[in-house]
Chain A
């Protein structure tokens, strides 16, 4: 009992000392970027660029996207090699999780596009996993060095407008391909009718994820806001966005895909 009290007192003292030290030392000098510049750069990525294998300068989100891809592929390969061969008829916890994940996207594809859903299921699975993992990725705050020598926390891949446009346009192309595969030229026409879809999809993703990024940037810009608050901010603006935007994009893709690929019978 006495030992526990001593440990508690030591822990409180160490924590208080760390807080006092952090507040006393500040950020190591005056910030070289104003909050306005930070916000602007978070949106436009004009200043802070990263070098991609020393070949070209890219926005940090490209490096984030590639890191997320690498992590996901390594995890998938490990699961494929170690877990999948041990699958049993009565699933364990990991198997159940994987089956739920695959079953969720497969079921969504089947329910929204009952007549043609093989490719759609695979696509929304990949897109869903990418959006969720990519958005949650910013919580880890992996650091990278910009070409100007500044330290930078890698953002969510889709908080970059280029990443959002890529996924929005690709989703639209998938919908278009479903229309063509299902109904030929008629499907192409009905898909082109929704020409605003790629823009709305892209900017919805971008706006939603950017808002989370901006709030997080703002919170971390001020030292005083960097305690306790990031927990709530991280959950609200990262995990919720990750879930909501994943659901919104795959649901829209599946819905439109099912609509344009549905066979139209001549009356």
Chain B
């Protein structure tokens, strides 16, 4: 039976045979190598991307850790500052106490010294006063004796005058 339009099964099969050779050849020689290369490159870039993502994630973790450490350090610094301030206050109080004690001791010593000095001065003053009193008394005595002598002399002279 003749098929219209000169359709020939033999030639259809020849075309199919030819195309199958072409398709196989193109697949193994061109399509597969190029696609493999493209897939390999995509995998390579995906790997780089994943590595970069991992690095980024690690950097973010480190950053968070550092931030946390910084915050901890800040609180620690504040705590240390507070402790140092407290310690300063304690030291200042101790120093003040020491100074107060020292001042009290100095004051006491000064008072004692002053007391001693006063006593010494008093004693010296008393001695001086006594000496002065004695001197004065002596002087008084001398002067009084002079007066008495003069009185006696005057009286004597007056008497003599009267008698004369």
Residues of A within 8 A of B (CB): 43-46, 52, 56, 58-59, 61-62, 65-66, 68-69, 72-73, 76-77, 79-80, 84, 87, 89, 98-99, 101-103, 105-106, 121-123, 125-127, 129-130, 157, 160-163, 165-167, 169-170
B145 at the interface (CB under 8 A from A): no
Q: Is the CB of A44 within 8 A of B21?
A: no
**A69: chain B residues within 8 A (beta carbon):** 18-19, 21-22, 25
Given A125-B26, A161-B6, the answer on whether A84 and B44 have CB atoms closer than 8 Å is: no
B38 at the interface (CB under 8 A from A): yes
Q: How far is the CB of A118 from chain B (nearest CB, A)?
A: 10
B12 at the interface (CB under 8 A from A): yes
**A170: chain B residues within 8 A (beta carbon):** 16, 19
Q: How far is the CB of A68 from chain B (nearest CB, A)?
A: 8
Interchain residue pairs A-B with the least CB separation, the first 8? A166-B15, A126-B23, A76-B29, A162-B11, A69-B22, A102-B34, A80-B29, A44-B6
Main SS of the interface on chain B? Answer: helix
Name 10 A/B residue pairs within 8 A (Cβ), A-sorted.
A84-B33, A99-B34, A103-B38, A106-B35, A121-B31, A125-B30, A126-B23, A162-B7, A169-B12, A169-B16
**A98: chain B residues within 8 A (beta carbon):** 30, 34
Q: Report Cα–Cα, A162/B35, bound state, in Å.
A: 32
Residues of B within 8 A of A (CB): 5-8, 10-16, 18-19, 21-23, 25-27, 29-35, 37-38, 41, 44
What would 13 more interface pairs be, CB under 8 Å, given A65-B18, A162-B12?
Answer: A58-B14, A62-B11, A62-B15, A69-B18, A73-B22, A102-B35, A123-B23, A126-B31, A161-B7, A165-B12, A166-B16, A166-B19, A169-B16
**A62: chain B residues within 8 A (beta carbon):** 11, 14-15, 18
Q: Report Cα–Cα, A50/B8, bound state, in Å.
A: 15
CB-CB nearest in chain B for A118: B35
Number of A-B contacts (CB under 8 A): 120
Q: How far is the CB of B19 from chain A (nearest CB, A)?
A: 6
CB-CB nearest in chain B for A129: B26
Given A46-B6, A80-B29, A161-B7, the answer on whether A166 and B12 have CB atoms closer than 8 Å is: yes
Q: How far is the CB of A83 from chain B (nearest CB, A)?
A: 9
**B30: chain A residues within 8 A (beta carbon):** 76, 79-80, 98, 102, 125
CB-CB nearest in chain A for B13: A166
CB-CB nearest in chain A for B27: A122
Q: Report Cα–Cα, A98/B34, bound state, in Å.
A: 7
Q: Is the CB of A73 within 8 A of B27?
A: no
**A167: chain B residues within 8 A (beta carbon):** 15, 19
Q: Report Cα–Cα, A101/B33, bound state, in Å.
A: 13
Q: Is the CB of B23 within 8 A of A122?
A: yes
CB-CB nearest in chain A for B20: A170
Interface centre among B11, B15, B18 (most CB of A within 10 A): B15
Q: Which of A58, A72, A106 contacts B11 (CB 8 A)?
A: A58
Q: Report Cα–Cα, A84/B8, bound state, in Å.
A: 40
Q: Report Cα–Cα, A89/B23, bound state, in Å.
A: 27
Q: Report Cα–Cα, A80/B29, bound state, in Å.
A: 6
